Amino acid sequence: MDLNKKTIWITGASSGIGEALALQYAKLGHNLILSARRQTELNKVADVCNSLGATSFVLPIDLSQLDNPERIVKDALAITGKIDILVNNGGISQRGLAVETNMDVVKRIMEINFFGHVALSNALLPHFIKAGGGQFAVLSSLTGKFGYGLRSTYAASKHALHGYFESLAIENFKNNIHVTMICPGRILTNISINAINGDGSNYGQMDDGQKNGIAADMCANIIIKAIDQKKREILIGKKDKLMVYVKRFCPAMFFKIAIRLDPRK
Ligand SMILES: NC(=O)c1ccc[n+]([C@@H]2O[C@H](COP(=O)([O-])OP(=O)(O)OC[C@H]3O[C@@H](n4cnc5c(N)ncnc54)[C@H](OP(=O)(O)O)[C@@H]3O)[C@@H](O)[C@H]2O)c1
């Protein structure tokens, strides 16, 4: 048995950062469970992963409809026998002022970006404890560290992940459970195209900010290193990362800058 070979479960593996993570983990020869809603896309990612040397399995899930997360975890464990790392990556962004965002949209974003990850992680946690350890990697955002225009609920969902998973990590230090919080800035994926407006309609545009973002494979590379080193938190970005430090050390200046920024750039 190859002890370096891990089983890594990635949600949101059908595109963007999740897909890039799957491909890089595949090159390293790990076993993969790939989840998201679109089975056809997942199958395509799995085929490429398998051609790169991985054994990968597709397990479609909708993070907004996890009525029985224990059964999904049971299915995942039945496929691979063990899980070493769960990458809570699936997510959706927002492009709408708070004043024009209806409660259905607020709930939808929270369901996918927060409750879905909590439900899956909580269902897996007892297995990690029984197995003597495990790791959760959680895709937050720089917007998990500060608020930003047009993203009130998105920012809230990412902030909530920090509170939840930091507490989980503290409670489970004795159980050898690690949590790596990942906070990217702008990464070149379809996240803005897939974002939703305040009325629930699709935003459908590639924002300039996204277009000029870091490549998804470069982002995946940084994430994999951080997971390997069991880092508690990493920031990934260009100049946008600086806003975390400005907010921490000079909150008044952060606010002055933030109100002047164009949230689409
Ligand atoms: N790109 C950025 O600039 C950026 C910055 C900071 C943080 N992030 C975070 O990184 C993560 C990945 O985003 P991305 O940039 O790779 O965007 P993306 O290309 O739009 O990918 C989002 C992924 O989430 C999945 N997903 C969406 N809704 C889902 C649902 N209800 N159930 C299950 N899976 C669902 C999508 O698959 P299906 O459509 O097949 O379900 C897709 O695989 C997100 O959590 C995002 O918030 C991204």
Residues 145, 183 contacting (CB under 8 angstroms): yes
Q: Residue 251 — pLDDT band, cuts 50, 70, 90?
A: very high
Tracing tokens 């790939």 back to the chain, one arrives at 34
Distance between Cα 95 and ligand 1 center (Å): 15
In CATH, what class is 7-240? alpha beta
Q: What are the beta bridge partners of residue 35?
A: 11
The average pLDDT across 26-34 equals 97
Which residue type is seen at 27?
K
Q: What is the pLDDT of residue 112?
A: 98
Ligand 1 atom closest to 184 (CA): 6
Ranges of each domain in the chain: 7-240
Which tokens in the block code for residue 159? 């902030």
CA-based nearest residue to 149, from 202, 92, 94: 94
The 10 Å Cβ neighbour count of residue 170 is 10
Indicate whether 1 pLDDT > 60.
no
The average pLDDT across 61-83 equals 97
**Catalytic (active-site) positions:** 154
Ligand 1 atom closest to 20 (CA): 16
Mutate to test the pocket of ligand 1, among 65, 154, 191, 217 (most ligand atoms within 8 A of CB): 191
> CB within 6 Å of ligand 1 — which residues?
11-12, 14-18, 36-38, 41, 61-64, 89-93, 112, 139, 141, 184, 186-187, 189-191, 194, 210, 213
Which tokens in the block code for residue 130? 């029984």
Which tokens in the block code for residue 242? 């600086």
Q: What is the pLDDT of residue 11?
A: 99
Q: Which residue has the higher pLDDT, 3 or 225?
A: 225
The average pLDDT across 101-128 equals 98
Indicate whether 42 pLDDT > 90.
yes
Tracing tokens 């290193």 back to the chain, one arrives at 225
Residues 93, 139 contacting (CB under 8 angstroms): no
pLDDT digit string (tens) for 83-104? 999 999 999 999 999 999 999 9
Distance between Cα 117 and ligand 1 center (Å): 12
The average pLDDT across 65-91 equals 97
Q: What is the pLDDT of residue 4?
A: 81
Least confident range from 1-5, 197-201, 226-230, 251-255: namely 1-5
| Alpha helices in the chain, H assignment, sequence order | 16-27, 39-51, 69-80, 103-110, 116-131, 152-171, 208-211, 216-228, 242-249, 251-258
Ligand 1 atom closest to 13 (CA): 43
Q: What is the pLDDT of residue 152?
A: 98
Q: Residue 202 — pLDDT band, cuts 50, 70, 90?
A: very high
Measured between alpha carbons, how far is 117 from 110 in angstroms, rounded to an integer?
10
